[in-house]
Amino acid sequence: MNPYMDKNLCHKNTLPISLEEMSEHGWDQVDVVFVTGDAYVDHPSFAASLLGRWLEAHGIRVAILSQPDWKSCDAWRKFGKPRLCFAVSAGNMDSMVNHYTANRKIRNVDAYTAGGKIGMRPDRATAVYCQRAREAFPGVPVLAGGLEASLRRLAHYDYWSDKVRRSVLLDSKADLLLFGMGELSLLEVIRRLDAGTAVEEIRDIPGTAYRLGASEFLEKEGEESRIRMEALPESVVILPSVEEVQAEKASFAAMTKQIYDELNPWSGRPLFQQCGTEAVVVNPPGRPLSTEEMDAIYSLPFTRREHPSYGEEKVPALQIVQDSVQAVRGCYGGCAFCAIAAHEGKQIQCRSQESIVSEIATIASDTHFSGTITDIGGPTANMYGTGCTNAEARRACKRTSCLYPEVCGNLDTSHEAYLGVLRAARGVANVRNVFIASGIRTDLARKSPEFLQELVEHHVGGHLKVAPEHSVARVLACMRKPTIDDFDAFTVEFEEAAEKAEKNVYTVPYFIASHPGCDLEAMLELAVYLHNNGYRPQQVQDYLPAPFAISTCMYYTGLDPMTGEEVYVPRGDRERRLQRALLQYYKPENYHAVRDVLERLGREDLMGDGVECLIRSYPPAENGAKPERARAEGGGYRQRSREENAQREQRAMQRITQRERWGRERDREESPEKRSSDRYAKRQFNHRPERRWEDRQERRWDDRPREGREGRREDHRNDHRRDFRNDDRREDRGGNREFRRESRGDFRPDHRRDNRRDHREGDRGGRWENRRENYRGNDRDNNRGNDRGNRWENRREEKPFSRDDRPPRRNFDDRPPRREWQERRPRQDDSGNTDRPAPRQWDADSTDRRSVSTWRPRREEPRREGFRRDDRRDDSRREGRRDDFRRNDRPDFRQRRGDDSRFRSRDDRDSKPRERSDDWKPRERSGEWKPRERSGEWKPRENRDGSFRRKDGFRGKRFPGR
Taking only Cα atoms into account, the Rg of the chain, rounded to an integer number of angstroms, comes to: 43
Please measure the distance between the N-terminal and C-terminal CA atoms of the chain and give it in whole angstroms: 95
Closest CA to 490 of 448, 538, 461, 547: 448
Alpha-carbon gap, residue 7 to 26, rounded angstroms:
18
Non-local CB neighbours of 389 within 8 Å, separated by 6+ positions = 410, 411, 412
pLDDT of residue 814: 53
Residue 306: exposure state from Cβ atoms within 10 A (0-12, 13-18, ≥19)? buried
pLDDT of residue 654: 73
pLDDT of residue 715: 45
Closest CA to 407 of 381, 385, 384, 388: 388
pLDDT of residue 675: 47
pLDDT of residue 942: 60
Alpha-carbon gap, residue 217 to 278, rounded angstroms:
9
Residues of the chain with pLDDT under 70: 1-9, 11-12, 622-646, 655-656, 658-962
Non-local CB neighbours of 618 within 8 Å, separated by 6+ positions = none
Non-local CB neighbours of 103 within 8 Å, separated by 6+ positions = 542, 573, 576
H-helix segments, 462-620: 473-479, 484-501, 520-533, 550-557, 573-583, 591-601
Contact 99, 122 (CB under 8 A): no
Q: Distance of alpha carbon 905 from its chain centroid, rounded? A: 66
Stated as kind and residue range, the H or E segment containing 741 is helix 737-744
Pair type for strands 176-178 and 142-145: parallel
Q: Distance of alpha carbon 941 from its chain centroid, rounded? A: 63
